[in-house]
Amino acid sequence: MLTGPKACTNRVQELAQRKELIDFLGHLSAKDPNYEIHMPVLLMPNRCNNKKAILQELSSFHPQCLLLQGLVDLGTPSPTVDGKMITYQSCRSQDGSVIKEGLSLAYINRENEVEIGLFKRGYLLLLEKQRKSLITVEKGHIQTTSFLGCPIVHFMNETDVVPLHIVLSYVPLVHHCGHSHCTIREGRTTIRVEQEDKDVYRRFVVHNMNHAVKVYVVNV
Protein backbone atom coordinates (compact mmCIF):
# COMPACT_ATOMS: atom_id res chain seq x y z
CA MET A 1 0.00 0.00 0.00
CA LEU A 2 1.06 3.60 -0.50
CA THR A 3 1.88 4.75 3.01
CA GLY A 4 3.16 8.24 2.38
CA PRO A 5 5.31 10.22 0.02
CA LYS A 6 8.57 9.42 1.81
CA ALA A 7 8.02 5.68 2.08
CA CYS A 8 6.81 5.66 -1.48
CA THR A 9 9.88 7.51 -2.73
CA ASN A 10 12.15 5.10 -0.90
CA ARG A 11 10.28 2.13 -2.28
CA VAL A 12 10.53 3.40 -5.83
CA GLN A 13 14.23 4.23 -5.42
CA GLU A 14 14.81 0.73 -4.09
CA LEU A 15 12.91 -0.72 -7.01
CA ALA A 16 14.88 1.34 -9.50
CA GLN A 17 18.10 -0.29 -8.30
CA ARG A 18 16.96 -3.77 -9.26
CA LYS A 19 18.74 -5.21 -12.24
CA GLU A 20 15.71 -5.77 -14.43
CA LEU A 21 14.58 -2.23 -13.81
CA ILE A 22 18.02 -0.84 -14.56
CA ASP A 23 17.83 -2.79 -17.83
CA PHE A 24 14.36 -1.39 -18.28
CA LEU A 25 14.95 2.31 -17.75
CA GLY A 26 18.72 2.74 -17.60
CA HIS A 27 20.93 3.95 -14.77
CA LEU A 28 19.97 6.97 -12.75
CA SER A 29 22.93 9.24 -12.22
CA ALA A 30 23.93 9.22 -8.53
CA LYS A 31 25.23 12.76 -9.06
CA ASP A 32 21.73 13.95 -9.72
CA PRO A 33 21.05 16.44 -6.89
CA ASN A 34 17.37 15.47 -6.88
CA TYR A 35 18.14 11.83 -6.19
CA GLU A 36 17.98 12.08 -2.42
CA ILE A 37 14.90 14.23 -2.14
CA HIS A 38 12.04 12.97 -0.04
CA MET A 39 9.29 14.92 -1.67
CA PRO A 40 6.01 13.69 -3.08
CA VAL A 41 6.95 11.27 -5.78
CA LEU A 42 5.45 12.71 -8.91
CA LEU A 43 5.46 16.42 -8.22
CA MET A 44 8.39 18.49 -7.03
CA PRO A 45 8.27 22.19 -6.14
CA ASN A 46 10.92 24.04 -8.07
CA ARG A 47 11.79 27.59 -7.08
CA CYS A 48 12.44 30.00 -9.88
CA ASN A 49 14.20 33.38 -9.69
CA ASN A 50 11.35 35.26 -8.05
CA LYS A 51 11.21 32.53 -5.34
CA LYS A 52 7.79 31.40 -6.46
CA ALA A 53 7.48 27.63 -6.25
CA ILE A 54 6.16 25.83 -9.28
CA LEU A 55 5.20 22.19 -9.13
CA GLN A 56 7.13 20.25 -11.71
CA GLU A 57 6.29 16.80 -12.84
CA LEU A 58 9.20 14.57 -11.93
CA SER A 59 8.17 11.93 -14.44
CA SER A 60 9.93 13.83 -17.18
CA PHE A 61 13.36 13.48 -15.63
CA HIS A 62 13.34 10.55 -13.23
CA PRO A 63 13.32 7.05 -14.60
CA GLN A 64 11.84 5.69 -11.35
CA CYS A 65 9.01 8.16 -11.58
CA LEU A 66 8.35 7.18 -15.16
CA LEU A 67 8.09 3.61 -14.03
CA LEU A 68 5.90 4.52 -11.09
CA GLN A 69 3.64 6.60 -13.30
CA GLY A 70 3.40 3.66 -15.68
CA LEU A 71 2.40 1.35 -12.83
CA VAL A 72 -0.09 3.89 -11.49
CA ASP A 73 -1.59 4.18 -14.99
CA LEU A 74 -1.96 0.42 -15.07
CA GLY A 75 -3.86 0.57 -11.80
CA THR A 76 -1.43 -1.55 -9.80
CA PRO A 77 -2.19 -1.14 -6.09
CA SER A 78 1.38 -0.30 -4.99
CA PRO A 79 4.70 0.55 -6.59
CA THR A 80 6.09 -2.96 -6.36
CA VAL A 81 7.07 -5.32 -9.10
CA ASP A 82 7.35 -8.54 -7.18
CA GLY A 83 6.33 -10.68 -10.09
CA LYS A 84 8.19 -11.47 -13.27
CA MET A 85 9.13 -9.13 -16.04
CA ILE A 86 9.38 -10.39 -19.61
CA THR A 87 10.53 -8.20 -22.48
CA TYR A 88 9.17 -8.26 -26.02
CA GLN A 89 10.26 -6.64 -29.27
CA SER A 90 7.03 -5.93 -31.08
CA CYS A 91 3.57 -4.99 -29.89
CA ARG A 92 0.04 -4.90 -31.26
CA SER A 93 -1.96 -1.68 -31.14
CA GLN A 94 -5.72 -1.27 -30.64
CA ASP A 95 -6.37 -1.31 -34.41
CA GLY A 96 -4.43 -4.56 -34.73
CA SER A 97 -1.26 -3.30 -36.40
CA VAL A 98 2.00 -4.92 -35.35
CA ILE A 99 4.59 -2.36 -34.28
CA LYS A 100 8.24 -3.34 -34.26
CA GLU A 101 11.23 -1.64 -32.66
CA GLY A 102 11.80 1.86 -34.04
CA LEU A 103 8.35 2.16 -35.63
CA SER A 104 6.09 5.06 -34.78
CA LEU A 105 2.82 4.80 -32.92
CA ALA A 106 0.03 6.99 -31.62
CA TYR A 107 -1.13 6.76 -28.01
CA ILE A 108 -3.42 8.66 -25.65
CA ASN A 109 -1.69 10.49 -22.81
CA ARG A 110 -3.01 11.17 -19.31
CA GLU A 111 -4.61 14.42 -20.52
CA ASN A 112 -6.50 12.46 -23.17
CA GLU A 113 -4.46 13.93 -26.01
CA VAL A 114 -2.88 11.99 -28.85
CA GLU A 115 0.90 11.61 -28.63
CA ILE A 116 3.37 10.10 -31.05
CA GLY A 117 6.28 7.90 -30.01
CA LEU A 118 8.80 5.46 -31.44
CA PHE A 119 8.42 1.97 -30.01
CA LYS A 120 11.50 0.87 -28.07
CA ARG A 121 10.57 -2.23 -26.11
CA GLY A 122 7.67 -3.92 -24.38
CA TYR A 123 7.57 -5.31 -20.83
CA LEU A 124 5.07 -7.85 -19.65
CA LEU A 125 4.66 -7.74 -15.88
CA LEU A 126 3.27 -10.85 -14.25
CA LEU A 127 1.92 -9.74 -10.89
CA GLU A 128 0.34 -12.65 -9.08
CA LYS A 129 -2.61 -13.51 -11.34
CA GLN A 130 -2.50 -10.27 -13.30
CA ARG A 131 -0.74 -9.67 -16.60
CA LYS A 132 0.09 -6.05 -17.37
CA SER A 133 2.01 -4.60 -20.24
CA LEU A 134 4.08 -1.44 -20.32
CA ILE A 135 6.09 -0.24 -23.28
CA THR A 136 8.90 2.28 -23.50
CA VAL A 137 8.77 4.77 -26.36
CA GLU A 138 10.94 7.60 -27.57
CA LYS A 139 8.61 10.49 -26.93
CA GLY A 140 7.70 12.76 -29.83
CA HIS A 141 6.72 16.41 -29.56
CA ILE A 142 3.99 17.37 -32.03
CA GLN A 143 4.70 20.89 -33.29
CA THR A 144 2.20 23.60 -34.08
CA THR A 145 3.91 24.06 -37.45
CA SER A 146 3.30 21.77 -40.40
CA PHE A 147 4.94 20.88 -43.70
CA LEU A 148 2.75 20.65 -46.82
CA GLY A 149 -0.21 20.29 -44.48
CA CYS A 150 1.36 17.41 -42.53
CA PRO A 151 2.11 17.80 -38.81
CA ILE A 152 5.76 17.97 -37.77
CA VAL A 153 7.07 15.90 -34.83
CA HIS A 154 10.34 16.46 -32.97
CA PHE A 155 12.22 13.69 -31.16
CA MET A 156 14.77 14.66 -28.52
CA ASN A 157 15.79 11.28 -27.17
CA GLU A 158 13.32 11.33 -24.27
CA THR A 159 11.72 8.18 -22.95
CA ASP A 160 8.11 7.70 -21.95
CA VAL A 161 6.54 4.66 -20.30
CA VAL A 162 3.12 3.86 -21.71
CA PRO A 163 0.59 1.12 -20.83
CA LEU A 164 0.17 -1.01 -23.95
CA HIS A 165 -3.63 -0.74 -23.89
CA ILE A 166 -3.53 2.99 -24.71
CA VAL A 167 -1.57 2.46 -27.94
CA LEU A 168 -3.98 3.30 -30.75
CA SER A 169 -2.26 2.58 -34.04
CA TYR A 170 0.78 2.73 -36.24
CA VAL A 171 1.52 6.23 -37.59
CA PRO A 172 3.44 6.66 -40.82
CA LEU A 173 6.30 9.09 -40.23
CA VAL A 174 8.79 10.28 -42.80
CA HIS A 175 12.07 12.00 -42.10
CA HIS A 176 12.02 15.76 -42.78
CA CYS A 177 14.98 15.53 -45.14
CA GLY A 178 14.93 19.15 -46.35
CA HIS A 179 15.13 20.40 -42.79
CA SER A 180 17.96 17.99 -41.87
CA HIS A 181 19.95 18.56 -45.08
CA CYS A 182 19.95 14.89 -46.05
CA THR A 183 21.86 14.12 -49.24
CA ILE A 184 21.01 12.17 -52.37
CA ARG A 185 23.57 9.68 -53.68
CA GLU A 186 23.59 7.49 -56.74
CA GLY A 187 24.98 4.03 -57.10
CA ARG A 188 24.51 0.39 -57.85
CA THR A 189 22.36 -1.66 -55.53
CA THR A 190 20.84 -5.11 -55.66
CA ILE A 191 17.09 -5.54 -55.54
CA ARG A 192 15.11 -8.74 -55.68
CA VAL A 193 12.60 -8.94 -58.53
CA GLU A 194 10.53 -12.09 -59.04
CA GLN A 195 12.91 -14.30 -57.04
CA GLU A 196 15.95 -12.98 -58.93
CA ASP A 197 18.64 -10.59 -57.76
CA LYS A 198 18.94 -7.65 -60.12
CA ASP A 199 21.69 -5.09 -60.15
CA VAL A 200 20.20 -1.66 -60.63
CA TYR A 201 21.53 1.87 -60.73
CA ARG A 202 19.47 4.13 -58.57
CA ARG A 203 19.34 7.25 -56.46
CA PHE A 204 18.88 6.96 -52.72
CA VAL A 205 18.72 9.27 -49.74
CA VAL A 206 21.39 9.22 -47.05
CA HIS A 207 19.55 10.52 -43.99
CA ASN A 208 21.45 12.89 -41.75
CA MET A 209 20.62 11.79 -38.20
CA ASN A 210 23.37 13.80 -36.50
CA HIS A 211 21.04 16.36 -34.99
CA ALA A 212 20.04 16.67 -31.33
CA VAL A 213 16.46 17.05 -32.51
CA LYS A 214 15.24 14.57 -35.12
CA VAL A 215 12.47 16.07 -37.22
CA TYR A 216 9.77 13.92 -38.84
CA VAL A 217 6.63 14.63 -40.80
CA VAL A 218 3.41 12.67 -40.21
CA ASN A 219 2.49 11.24 -43.60
CA VAL A 220 -1.29 11.75 -43.48
Coil/strand/helix, residue 90: strand
Overall residue count recorded for the chain in this entry: 220
Residue 35 vs 204, nearer CB to Zn ion: 204
Which residue's CB is nearer to Zn ion, number 74 or number 182? 182
Q: How far is the CB of 147 from Zn ion (least distance, A)?
A: 13
- Antiparallel, parallel or unpaired: β 98-100 and 90-92: antiparallel
| Alpha-helical regions (H) of 60-157 | 63-74
Least distance from Zn ion to the Cβ atom of residue 177, Å: 3
Of 41 and 173, the one with the shorter C-beta distance to Zn ion is 173
The least CB distance from residue 191 to Zn ion, in Å, is 21
Nearer to Zn ion, 43 or 177 (CB): 177
Work out how close the CB of 104 gets to Zn ion at its nearest, in angstroms, rounded to a whole number: 15
* Interacting residue ranges for Zn ion, rule: CB under 5 A: 175, 177, 182, 207
Cα dist from 139 to 21, 99, 108, 208, whole Å: 19, 15, 12, 20
Q: Is 5 helix (H, G, I), strand (E, B) or coil?
A: helix
